[in-house]
Structure 1
Amino acid sequence: MQKVAVFGKPGSGKSTLSKALAKARDLPLYQLDSLVYQPNGELAPQDLFEQQHQKILQSEHWVMDGFGPLSAFNQRLAAADTLVYIDLPYAISYWLVTKRLLKGLFVKPEGWPDGSSVLKGSIQSYKTLRMCPRFWNEDFVKNLKQLAAGKSLFIIRSLDELNHFAENVTHQ
């Protein structure tokens, strides 16, 4: 477990899990939203994002969470030796986005880009969740399993599994 891609729907716990994983394995953590967005909350120029993303992918060790542009996502999946797909039920994802929004009124959420509005980001997360079934579906899982040949693949489908995965990672 040297190059780890953590991905899934908005609000699924990617940032929290990635932080615990990076700490437990002593790996550098890269939260994709910090590459996609500038400190003022605006999108980073695409060429800058691609440069930073490629530099990380070419390094020997990393944990990266998030999705980002589809081409970058596919590159990340190909470069990783470990894939962690958090596939929580939609009702839980909606609840976790809402919980993050409410908590974000007082404290910046885990992995949240500096300068980005929690309200605007949460609205975007709700919109993204509505569109997720078009991408995060059984065809995606089938393709993911084929892509994962020779890699470690973890598919987490419940909060209980997510909590146990995080506990096991930090206690190994």
Structure 2
Amino acid sequence: MVTNIPNRIHIIGSVGSGKTTLARTLSSQFHIPYYELDNVVWERAEPDDIRRSEADRDAMLISIINTKCWIIEGAHLNWVSPSFDRADLIVFLNPSYSIITYRIITRFIKQRLRLEQAHYTPNWGMFKKMFEWSAAFQRKGRYQTQDTLEDYPGKVVVVKDLKQLKRRLEQWSAPIEQQERTSG
């Protein structure tokens, strides 16, 4: 089946916006590898992760975006412009604050019950930080993201809820011939 799937997708949004879930879904559905920007910033090690140098982090990002197909997800904005430049599609997940709050609480409970894995220790301090990051994104980050993404016309899709996302996924999955018939 010929599809209209973008080969290089960058997903950005607040903590709890659904970036990792969307990246995993698209990766599984379209057989495109996905990368979490947190794993580009942090070298996973025991007992504590190690922050990569900016040079190592940037080199790792470049090595990812120089491949044919990828999905990159993260909340990072300032140093990821090479990914935005190279992306076929940039998805900005921008759900309501109440949905993000619900997801942060649900994630924390699942992680504490060991029903979901985390790259960090799901303690009360981290729980509090997630709310701080989310509030900062609502106050300032989302506007910075919107301003930055204006430099990439034709590449950006803003998704506020699951219905919008489902419609977009159906469009990507439809054969090109069918899309041409319905758009012509």
What TM-score do you get using the length of structure 2 for normalisation? 0.77
1:50 and 2:53 aligned: no
Task: Specify the alignment match of 1:99 in structure 2.
Answer: 106
1:110-121 equivalences in 2 (<5 Å):
112-113=118-119, 116-119=120-123, 120-121=125-126
User: Distance between the aligned counterparts of 2:168 and 2:75, measured in 1?
Assistant: 20
Residue-pair matches, total? 163
Quick check: 1:147 aligned with 2:155? Answer: no
Give SS of 1:7's match: strand
Structure-1 residue corresponding to 2:130? 125
**C-alpha contact 1:21 1:166 (8 A) present in aligned 2:** no
* 2:141 matches 1:135: yes
Match of 1:65 in 2: 73
C-alpha contact (below 8 Å) 1:30/1:63 kept by paired residues:
yes
- Structure 2 gap ranges (5+): 1-5, 175-184
What is the alpha-carbon distance in structure 1 between the residues aligned to residue 90 and residue 128 of structure 2? 27
Give the corresponding residue for 1:14.
19
In structure 2, do the counterparts of structure 1 residues 27 and 128 end up closer, same or farther at CA, with 3 Å as the change threshold? Answer: same
Two-structure CA RMSD over aligned residues (Å): 2.3
Q: Match of 2:133, as an amino acid?
A: T
In structure 1, what is the Cα distance between the partners aligned to 2:29 and 2:147? Answer: 30
- Superposed CA offset, 1:116-161 (max 9, x none): 2123443322111121121202x643542x323243x221112433
Identity %: 17
* Bigger Rg over Cα: 2
- In the aligned structure 1, how far is the partner of 2:62 from the partner of 2:107? 30
2-side partners of 1:86 and 1:141: how far apart?
11
Q: How far off is 1:32 after superposition?
A: 1.4
Residues 127 and 87 (structure 1), Cα distance of their counterparts in 2 relative to 1, 3 Å cut? same
Is the Cα contact below 8 Å between 1:7 and 1:66 reproduced in 2?
yes
The 2-side partners of 1:161 and 1:70 are apart by 27
Closer/same/farther in 2, CA of residues 100 and 169 from structure 1, 3 Å limit:
farther
Partner secondary structure for residue 71 of structure 1? coil
Indicate yes or no: 2:170 matched with 1:168.
Answer: yes
Structure 1 unmatched ranges of 5 or more = none
